[in-house]
Amino acid sequence: MTTISIGNTPIRKCDFLSARYGTNIFIKEEFYNPGMSAKDRPAYFMIQDAIEQARIQPGGTFVEASSGNTGLGIALIAKQLGYRSKIFVSKSCSKEKIKVLIQAGAEIEICENSNGLHDFHSTQFRAQSFAATHPNAYFTNQYYNTQNICAHYKTTGPEIWEQTQGRITHFLSGVGTGGTISGVGRFLKEKKADIRIWGVEPEGSILQHYLQYGKAPKEISPFDAIEGIGRNFVPGSFDPQPIDHIFQVQQSMTKLMARRYLAETGIPSGFSSAALLACLHTYHNEMALGPAHTVLLFFPDHGSRYVSKLYADSLDFKTASSTL
């Protein structure tokens, strides 16, 4: 296959957060990937696997259900390799993501929700149905594709271990499909069993309950909308084994912390990245972090994907954007 440069993204120490919480906080900046998100990693692994296993023929169509970032990774890589892409997104997808998907050559279909395969109106059901009824179309299915976990186990985890020189004590990541936290968590736990693997999801999402009780709650209701994370079903790419705890945060606090972080640092964070900031703000006493700890925050994408949702009226964003 054609070599595609994905991964080896930098980490940087955040002096502002380190001083604020009295510990050593580093950020892994995944927006240095070609599609400006961590989702380029599983997108490449899923496409590579499908081609190698002859699940799709040259010139075929890769199909995905996505909040935008995985879809973009699929679209960019598929186009480079001579394939087409069709991406099913929910109506909550930011207009910035839809714009870059179209620019990448993807065919877009907007769906009512992303509630899983049991819902006829969901991105997942519609994507699966399209792939099943069209010739030479392959549904990469990030929610149930083992390559989602594998990509982070084989690339992201080792990068973090090497970049922190094995000093990492805490890993904090948003939880959506579960691929990132499952793959990174599995790798890091194999290296050092006492590393704490913490997830973040919106209030009302069910994965905290599943992690604690081993089953989904009997009553499932809509959860706070934080684009990219949170689920009302348990994805097959979510492995609870390496995860120590999942925190829940409010959408309102997430938006507030995105703007506060931008004002303090000049850096616009993505929606789920800001959820990590909200988590630190809400639970820092419970986390009991200290000067001997090394905390890695996983920022999967960039604030430019969420201007309309997080920064539409922010002069700080406009100033920061002009320097990018």
Answer yes or no: are the C-beta atoms of 256 and 132 closer than 8 Å: no
Closest by CA to 150, choosing from 41, 38, 40, is: 41
- Strands 11-13, 24-29: pairing kind: antiparallel
- Helices 69-80, 95-103: axis angle to 10 degrees equals 10
Burial class for 251, CB neighbours closer than 10 Å (0-12, 13-18, 19+): buried
Burial class for 167, CB neighbours closer than 10 Å (0-12, 13-18, 19+): middle
Cα(160)–Cα(211) distance, rounded to whole angstroms?
24
Residue 246 half-sphere exposure toward CB, CA atoms < 13 A: 31
* DSSP one-letter code for 113: B
List 172's β-bridge partners, or say none: 198, 297
Catalytic residue chosen out of the listed positions 39, 86, 97, 255: 39
Examine the residue annotation and report whether 86 is marked as an active-site residue of this protein.
no
* Residues belonging to the active site: 39
